[in-house]
Structure 1
Amino acid sequence: MASLSFIGAGPGHPDWLTLRAYHLLQQAQLVVYDALVSQQILQLVNPYASLIQVGKRSSQRGYHPTEIAQLLMNSYHQGNHTVRLKGGDVSIFARFYEEILPIHEACIPFEIVPGITTASGVCASLACALTHRSLASSVTFISAMEAISPFRWSKLISTSDTLVVYMPLANLPSLIDGYLQAGGHPETPILLVQWCSLDTQATLLGTISTINHQIQRHQFGPPSLAIIGEVTTLCIGST
């Protein structure tokens, strides 16, 4: 019987997959995956399955969500065990609704298997937390892929003790300018983590005023995640 599953692959380390995700990857006949899904995860896929990479990488054009949905529906109608494999968790900055709505409208059943989002992975890798009884009682996740208005920056700064920025290097100078113009303090700590959970994981701990220079000096690149706030100074593994 055909099946369709959306699976969160987590930050990249295969040991962080759920058992359900592992079993579905072993049964899969087609796996449609994002560019940032690690090779270690892909090695767990049924060796007889077909793999299609649909994420944008360097100069290559990525698939539109409606194209991905059509690809998944075609595979389902062909009777395949079909897996849509996304980095992190499928519900956080993964364009999830844009892919599942056409499938839902076509009355095709699907399963969702959650994954560890990168923010949680960073905390596990560096022995830190996003909240702290004395320093941070609120957290907000934001994406750097879209512009943030000055009004929204002001609201974020006034209501969130910790800011978690996904894909920060896509627009970091503009993000920092917006943060400062909205009243953010230039000495606010910021932590950048690259390739969370993998052997290539790297970290940079600085301040809003220094982080751009540090990135250039260390040639820090994507994929990465940023955490802004006082809790970053308590991360044991960032030193």
Structure 2
Amino acid sequence: MTIRKSFYITVWALSCSLISATALADPILAKIQTRWAQCNYTVGSSDDKVACFDRLIDDTQIALLAQPARHDLKIWLAINKSSLAGVDGGMGALGLVKDAKILLEDVITQAPETLDGSALTSLATLYHKVPGWPLAFGDDDKAAELFKKALAINPDGIDPNYFYGEFLADTGKTNLAVAFLKHAQQAPARPDRPLADQGRQQEIIQKLKELNQQ
């Protein structure tokens, strides 16, 4: 049984290529973010992507074990697990996204504004993308609630606007979706994240084309 479509995280997850300032100050986080963009946008085959994210998850876990109070690393471990679930598919993806959910909920409980509220964006995306009960925890009402909280923290960010726009499109609110997607297009560039920005902008263009807006 494959649930790759349900678990596809354009990522984001989550994810989510989500912050510049902290990465500039912290080489560990910067390296993880850069490698995520490489895995997500430049690696070709699915098998190679799986291997890339597997290695990145291992390295992120090692970094987090060394600094267990780092909420930003928890977010990126969750993003990497969600991204692996998206490319790997199958029943194994369920465990990955459930692990990601626990990590993100921990950050939201303790420090929801970490990385401009990216844990909220990432968890909202998971609630929207994964199957619902009894297979998993998918819930569009919960996703909408979390997206709105993320946008309250980071109203002009590329990721919360893109993923909320995608959510709105998937739930039939096309006009509103277009507004958020176009707002995402106008998000400030992140000088330290050129590959992530380029990839996300291409995803925005593709989504707008699907909505007959390009």
Q: TM-score if structure 1 supplies the norm length?
A: 0.30
Q: Counting strand residues as a fraction of each chain, which structure ranks higher?
A: 1
Answer 1 or 2: higher relative contact order, Cα 8 Å, separation at least 6: 2
Q: Counting helix residues as a fraction of each chain, which structure ranks higher?
A: 2
- The structure that has the greater radius of gyration is 1
